Structure 1
Amino acid sequence: MFKTTVVIDPGHGGTDSGAIGNGLKEKDINLKVAQMVKSNLLKHKINPILTRDKDLFVSLTNRCIIANRNNARLFVSIHCNSYADAGANGIETLYYSQKGSELAKVINDKLVKATALRNRDIKQRTNLSVLKKTKMISCLTEIGFISNANDSKLLKSNEHLSRVAESITNGILLYLTEH
């Protein structure tokens, strides 16, 4: 029935709110987008597994265990960025390995094109547990700065979040088609 399994990780949750800014909690945005991505992937016969499907704390280790036990082909973690300088803005996607850079690039490109937010590009990060300890190709996408007035205004919009989810979905589908 399903072509492949993809784990979608809505960052933070439960007692870990993630970044807070401009009336938003990162954990809530991440979950909303992840649920939309899940719904989109199901339409394409992809088996999407969320590391959490409600406002619940899941340790970084358990997020990796969920992905590894389900033999996922891809792992995509969804986050919002934050920075002390409220002028920082845009989209960036992080990866651990060279193979992950290809997934990060297609997702990042789709997000930037669909949202017209600043392209902060892809960046290698070797210190992120969810990228380092997952056995499959993985990336972590930062869908905007919760600390930035313009980005957070967009993050409050269901229409914008739907575009973000569609972009992540399209990036996943393109990657799976090409690999």
Structure 2
Amino acid sequence: MRTVLLFLSILFTLTGCVSPDRSKAVVVIDAGHGGHDSGAISGEKLEKNLVLSIAKKVRKALRRNGHPVYLTRSGDSFLKLGQRTRIADRKEAMIFLSIHANASPNPKKNELLSGVETYYLQKSRDARSQRIAERENAAVLMGTDELSKDVIIDSVLNGPKIVESHKLAIDIQREMLKRMKGEYHDVKDGGVRPGPFYVLVGASRPSILVEVGYLSNTKERQRLFESDYQNAIAKGIASGIGRYLDNRKKEIDI
């Protein structure tokens, strides 16, 4: 019950009334995993290192556009679930973005699965979304009982931020693919998907999770650790955030 109260207190900290002015919009970027939690491991490459590198490039791209940007971690440290979203609350962020990398659950499919996917918080019957969410949730939910997990996620599924998170996910996925396909024509579009990612639960603002690619795919893993490829991802995310803020402002001005 203590876990439930913690997340509900985080959830209702803010009213959600924030300015859509893109020049002032604070963005918090969460590089997944860290410390003892390496995330996906393939070909001696670690997810935690990859996503931190990309997170820093996204920060650079956003700051170039005038955004105040904060990282949940800037080094190899592990943060508990509540710590990640509390940072977004303390900074009064308008957007919370969590960056991860994927991996095939079946070695026989390592070279078959690839692509970029963007998720927003929602329960889903899609087996793929559930599988990926379970993997990403494993470390941050350690010690949380099943009843607490259900109460936590059910408390926000009908909240106004779900709709905005979906819009944000669409804009970021579209812009990422546009940037990446400009130089890498065979990048696969994994689409925008709902998923029960608990790292998105406590954030009182539009929140999404990006899976930048599959470490288990040899070709994609090689690309993911190339600076140019990471820059394409980062610039796409930054462009998507800008598009979302512009669209949001238009909605309010109408």
Q: 2:199 aligns with which of 96, 108, 130?
A: 130
Matched, 1:4 2:25: yes
Matched, 1:29 2:50: yes
Runs (4 or more) in structure 1 with deviation over 6 Å come to none
Match of 2:177 in 1: 112
- DSSP-derived class of the 2:113 partner: coil
Match of 1:90 in 2: 115
Matched, 1:49 2:70: yes
Identity of matched residues, %: 33
Equivalent residues of 1:11, 1:79 under 8 A apart: yes
Q: How far did residue 131 of structure 1 move?
A: 1.2
Alignment coverage as a number of residue pairs:
177
Most deviating of 24-33 and 107-116:
107-116
- Compute the RMSD of aligned alpha carbons: 1.2
Equivalent residues of 1:61, 1:129 under 8 A apart: no
Match of 1:150 in 2: 219
Q: How far did residue 114 of structure 1 move?
A: 2.1
What CA deviation, in whole Å up to 9, does each residue of 1:76-102 have, x standing for no partner?
111111112202110100001222111
Q: Which runs of 5+ in 2 are unaligned?
A: 1-22, 122-161, 182-186, 249-254
What CA deviation, in whole Å up to 9, does each residue of 1:55-90 have, x standing for no partner?
111112110111122211000111111112202110
Q: Which runs of 5+ in 1 are unaligned?
A: none
Q: Which amino acid aligns with 2:188?
A: R
- DSSP-derived class of the 2:79 partner: coil
Task: Give the structure with the higher percent helix.
Answer: 2
**Normalized against structure 2, the TM-score is what?**
0.67
Q: How far did residue 23 of structure 1 move?
A: 2.7
Q: How far did residue 48 of structure 1 move?
A: 0.4
The 1-side partners of 2:230 and 2:42 are apart by 17
